[in-house]
Amino acid sequence: MLAQWRRSELLPPVTVAMASGGGSMYLLLGGSGVGKTLLVKRLQKLSSKDGAKDLGEPPSTLPTVGTNLTDLLIGKKITVRELGGCMGPIWSSYYSDCCCVLYMIDAAKPTQISSSCVQLLSLLSAEELMSAPVLIIFNKIDLPCYMSLVEMKSLFRIQDIIACAKQPITVVETSARDGTGLSNVMQWFHSTLHD
Ligand SMILES: Nc1nc2c(ncn2[C@@H]2O[C@H](COP(=O)(O)OP(=O)(O)OP(=O)(O)O)[C@@H](O)[C@H]2O)c(=O)[nH]1
Ligand SMILES: [Mg+2]
């Protein structure tokens, strides 16, 4: 049962055959304000040469209008393309260009859960993403009102979604603000790369 999964059990090993052409484009999707830009800034710091141990105060962010490309060095160079939440209607035009998907949800915002669920189901059924590993990130778990995976299980029907999906799906909980769970995101990136 998902409710009983330990964090390590949420991270099955995944190996990806990269899209033909050898690209390493990771698509980062999720509704407006869920924390995508902050996550990328944090990952950039974590993957920098000095491998920051102390993340420090969270940098400020602005809503992403359009797309935001960031290179990360995670064993090799990969590129994360964040699409602003406001771009939802045209996310699908970027599907063919990517090898993996990160899908972020604000775990402290119950009112966004049903629209997140619809968006997730839509991307999981997209032909271009049928073999793309997907990382579902429940973010903002530092907030007192966040919903745990146990609560998500009933609200989000995450077990059913995972069971029906063709893609390998991994679930993590994070706080891009205080850094909790970001090592699991890094671990997932590693698991998607060939040696
Ligand atoms: N408390 C808390 N706040 C967070 C966390 N992650 C992001 N935020 C805050 O949430 C707000 C929105 O974060 P962004 O990273 O800009 O969100 P986004 O998903 O990129 O939004 P769009 O670009 O508009 O789609 C900012 O004020 C962040 O500091 C988190 O884990 N915890
Ligand atoms: Mg953004």
Is 30 annotated to bind ligand?
Answer: yes
pTM: 0.88
| 192 Cα: distance to centroid of ligand 2 (angstroms) | 23
| 137 Cα: distance to centroid of ligand 1 (angstroms) | 13
SS3 labels along the chain: CHHHCCHHHHCCCCCCCCCCCCCCEEEEEECCCCCHHHHHHHHHHHCCCCCCCCCCCCCCCCCCCCEEEEEEEECEEEEEEEECHHHHHHHHHHHHHCCEEEEEEECCCHHHHHHHHHHHHHHHCCHHHCCCCEEEEEECCCCCCCCCHHHHHHHHCHHHHHHHCCCCEEEEECCCCCCCCHHHHHHHHHHHCCC
Flag whether pLDDT at 90 surpasses 80. Answer: yes
Q: Which residues line ligand 1 (CB under 6 A)?
A: 30, 32-38, 58, 61, 63-64, 84-85, 139-140, 142-143, 175-177
What pLDDT is stored for residue 15 in this prediction? 36
149-160, pLDDT tens digit by residue? 888 878 778 888
